[in-house]
A and B are shown apart, each in its own frame.
Chain A
Amino acid sequence: MPNKDNQVLQDTTKAINATILRAKLLDTIMTSVFYVVALFFLVLLIVFATYIIVKGFMDFDISMMAFDHRGIGNQLFNTVYLVILALLISVPLGLLSGTQTSQVKIPCTP
């Protein structure tokens, strides 16, 4: 009888050990998968950034910044100008509505 009990005990231990081993293996595999994903992002961004920066600077010439038909000075200025104009409109409105939703209690607003 003790022999049979021993056998059951051994089988159970073996099964548990196998489960633990499998769980550990899976853990290692998934951890490395996550590392690969993170590495992929790192590489992707570095390639992205290097490509844009290198390509952008390769043909860069100071005459490009000129404010005439050859340069992008006007476009650059307009971009900044538009952003400032947009901010002039949206900052007061945004501040007001943000204050309203968070500070002023009006029955029909959340």
Chain B
Amino acid sequence: MQDNSRVIRQDISWKIIISLGGFFMIALTFALGFFLFYRGIETFTTYDHSVFEFLFSSTWAPTDSHDGGGKVGAAIFIFGSISTCLLALLISLPFSIGAAIFMTEISPGFGRKIIQPIVEIFVGIPSVVYGWLGLTVLVPVIKDVFDTQYGFSVLAASLVLAIMIFPTITSVSADAIRSVPKNFRQAAFGLGSTRWQVIYKIVLPAAKNGILTGVILGLARAFGEALAVAMVIGKTKVFPVSILSPTTNLTSAIAADMGGAMDGGEYNIALWTMALLLFFISLGCIFLIHYISERDGENI
């Protein structure tokens, strides 16, 4: 009897400790979001800029003081982020899905033994290495091939990002394709389909939601990537004329300027607002993934 109550007491105390741990993580996430929101909103409250100006004006001249009165149009940064990410997605999407199909449908043994580890190695390479390689190899190559002045360009940033997001898309898509029931394929083969017809008409539509999840995960990673992009994008605060001209993006602007800006000043707060925007973008991506996977659950 005595022993029993001790066990129960232990059970309850551990339950409390574990719950505290869980709630601490939730509280931490909310605190992070709240802090970002609290700082980021000051551009619109304390310094009296409109959301429209922040999102669509390209005049970036915030004052580095508490007085305000500068211009905080972040359209160049936003456009830089969006264009590099979309271009990176465009480059890596065919390759990632192709690799995913190859390692699951065409050569599963080889795929599991060789391609899967390769993809995992790509995930493990730190982003600074990608940036360094981009800076030392890709930028000079682009400079020579396209005969531009520096080689820092949207194209270089997109290529680096494309290499960085392809493992994410590939592994998530491969998982989605693997989880398509085998009898779907057997039925299609039994009707006389070729392998490509099975892939194109059966497997890809069935794995569509999983592939979409991978794409969104990759996109979220591309949006949040700072170091590698900052090293090759050129950090020029103008709209890119073509994909060969340098520009800048949200993450590299934050990384480059946050250290030098006065705490609480207009410049500093404008950077916080950019961070808030990035936070909202990744939040949106996560919600989208949950929405898709929920819809997926309903379909099957």
Contact = CB atoms under 8 A, between A and B. Distances in A.
Contact of B17 (A44, A45, A51, A96): A96
A97 B137 CA distance: 43
Contacts of A72: none
A100 B118 contact: no
B95 interface: yes
Interface stretch (B51-59, B100-108, B142-150, B227-235): B100-108
B22 interface: yes
Given A35-B102, A38-B107, A51-B137, A93 B21 contact: yes
Contact of B195 (A31, A40, A106, A109): A31
Of the candidates A26, A33, A51, A100, the one having the most CB atoms from chain B within 10 angstroms of its own CB is: A100
A34 to B, nearest CB: 4
Contact of A99 (B18, B110, B125, B200): B18
Interface string A62-99: 00000000000000000000000000000011011101
Contacts of B15: 104
B118 A41 contact: yes
Contact of A96 (B18, B99, B163, B193): B18
A97 B99 contact: no
A9 interface: no
A103 B18 contact: yes
A38 B194 contact: no
B133 interface: yes
A18 interface: no
B18 A27 contact: no
A23 B133 CA distance: 42
Given A24-B194, A27-B194, A41-B95, A100 B21 contact: yes
Contacts of B19: 100, 104, 106
Contacts, number: 88
Q: Is the interface of B mostly helix, strand, loop or mixed?
A: helix
Nearest to B94: A37
B129 interface: yes
A93 B25 contact: yes
Contact of A42 (B24, B25, B118, B199): B118
Contacts of A96: 17-18, 20-22, 24
B22 A34 contact: no
Nearest to B110: A38
Interface string A33-56: 111011011101100110110000
B38 interface: no
Nearest to B197: A23
B98 interface: yes
Interface string B13-39: 001011111111100000000000000
A27 B199 CA distance: 10
